[in-house]
Amino acid sequence: MSDHAIEALLLEGRRFEPPEAFRARAALRDPRIYEDAQRDPEGFWASIARELHWFRPWTKVLEWAPPYAKWFVDARTNIAYNALDRHLGTPRRNKAAIMWEGEPGDERVLTYADLHREVSKFANVLKGLGVRSGDRVAIYLPMIPELPIAMLACARIGAAHTVIFGGFSAEALRDRINDAQAKVLITADGGWRRGNVVPLKRNADEALEGTPSIQHVVVVRRIGEAAAIHIREGRDHWWHRLMADAALRCEAEPVDSEHLLYILYTSGTTGKPKGIVHTTGGYMAGTYATTKWIFDLREDDVYWCTADIGWVTGHSYIVYGPLLNGATAVMYEGTPDYPEKDRFWAIVEKYGVNVIYTAPTAIRTFMKWGPDHPRRHDLSSLRLLGTVGEPINPEAWVWYYRYIGGERCPVVDTWWQTETGMILISPLPGITTLKPGSATRALPGISAEIVNEQGRPVGPNEGGYLVLTRPWPAMLRGIYGDPERYQQQYWNRFPGMYFTGDGAKRDEDGYIWLLGRVDDVINVAGHRIGTYEVESALVDHPSVAEAAVIGVSHDIKGQAIAAFVTLKEGNAPGTEAVETLKQHVVKKIGALARPEQILFTGELPKTRSGKIMRRLLRDIAEGRIMGDTTTLADPNVVEALKNRYEEEVGS
Ligand code: PRX
Residue 640's pLDDT is what?
A: 81
When pLDDT is averaged across residues 429-447 and rounded to a whole number, the result is 98
pLDDT above 90: percentage of residues in the chain: 90
Residue nearest atom 23 in ligand 1 by C-alpha distance? 391
Question: Looking at 115-124, 131-140, 409-418, 625-634, which range is the least confident one?
Answer: 625-634
Distance of alpha carbon 233 from alpha carbon 237, whole angstroms: 8
Question: 416 C-alpha to center of ligand 1: Å?
Answer: 5
Distance of alpha carbon 528 from alpha carbon 592, whole angstroms: 9
Whole-structure pTM value: 0.95
Alpha helices in 376-472 (DSSP H): 394-399
Residue 646's pLDDT is what?
A: 76
How many Cβ atoms sit within 10 Å of the Cβ of residue 491?
16
To test the pocket of ligand 1, the residue of 266, 306, 416, 521 to mutate (highest count of ligand atoms within 8 Å of its CB) is: 416
Residue 628's pLDDT is what?
A: 61
Question: Is the pLDDT assigned to residue 629 strictly greater than 80?
Answer: no
Residue 449's pLDDT is what?
A: 98
Q: What angle do CA 513, 519, 525 make, to 5 degrees?
A: 65
**Residue 195 one-letter amino acid:** G
Which residues have a Cβ under 8 Å from the Cβ of 170 and sit 6 or more positions away? 203, 204, 206, 207
Residue 651's pLDDT is what?
A: 46
pLDDT (tens digit, 9 = 90+) per residue, 31-85? 999 999 999 999 999 999 999 999 999 999 999 999 999 999 999 999 999 999 9
The more confident residue out of 627 and 336 is 336
Question: 475 C-alpha to center of ligand 1: Å?
Answer: 15
Ligand 1 atom closest to the Cα of residue 414 is 26
Sheet of strand 448-451: strand arrangement: 448-451, 464-468, 498-506, 512-517
Distance of alpha carbon 175 from alpha carbon 210, whole angstroms: 9
Residue nearest atom 24 in ligand 1 by C-alpha distance? 391
Distance of alpha carbon 426 from alpha carbon 438, whole angstroms: 9
Residue 85's pLDDT is what?
A: 98
List Cα–Cα distances, 298 to 237, 247, 325, in angstroms: 40, 34, 9
pLDDT (tens digit, 9 = 90+) per residue, 524-556? 999 999 999 999 999 999 999 999 999 999 999
* Mean pLDDT, all residues of the chain: 95
Are the C-beta atoms of residues 202 and 236 closer than 8 Å to each other?
no
Residue list, ligand 1 pocket, CB within 6 Å: 266, 312-313, 388-391, 413-418, 439, 500-502, 514, 517, 523, 528
What is the helix (H) or strand (E) element at residue 188, kind and residue range? Answer: strand 184-188
Question: Is the pLDDT assigned to residue 271 strictly greater than 90?
Answer: no
List Cα–Cα distances, 235 to 129, 166, 174, 200, 377, in angstroms: 10, 21, 16, 16, 47
Peptide bond into 67 cis (omega under 30): yes
Q: What angle do CA 238, 115, 97 make, to 5 degrees?
A: 130
pLDDT (tens digit, 9 = 90+) per residue, 2-33? 577 777 767 667 899 999 999 999 999 999 99
Residue 194's pLDDT is what?
A: 97
Distance of alpha carbon 113 from alpha carbon 87, whole angstroms: 9
Are the C-beta atoms of residues 416 and 424 closer than 8 Å to each other?
yes
Question: Is the pLDDT assigned to residue 627 strictly greater than 60?
Answer: no
Are the C-beta atoms of residues 378 and 286 closer than 8 Å to each other?
no
Residue 472's pLDDT band, with cuts at 50, 70 and 90, is very high
List Cα–Cα distances, 3 to 6, 7, 15, 341, 371, in angstroms: 6, 6, 19, 20, 11
Q: Name which of 594, 645, 585 is nearest 618 in CA terms.
A: 645
The more confident residue out of 622 and 331 is 331
Question: Looking at 7-21, 268-282, 570-584, 599-613, which range is the least confident one?
Answer: 7-21
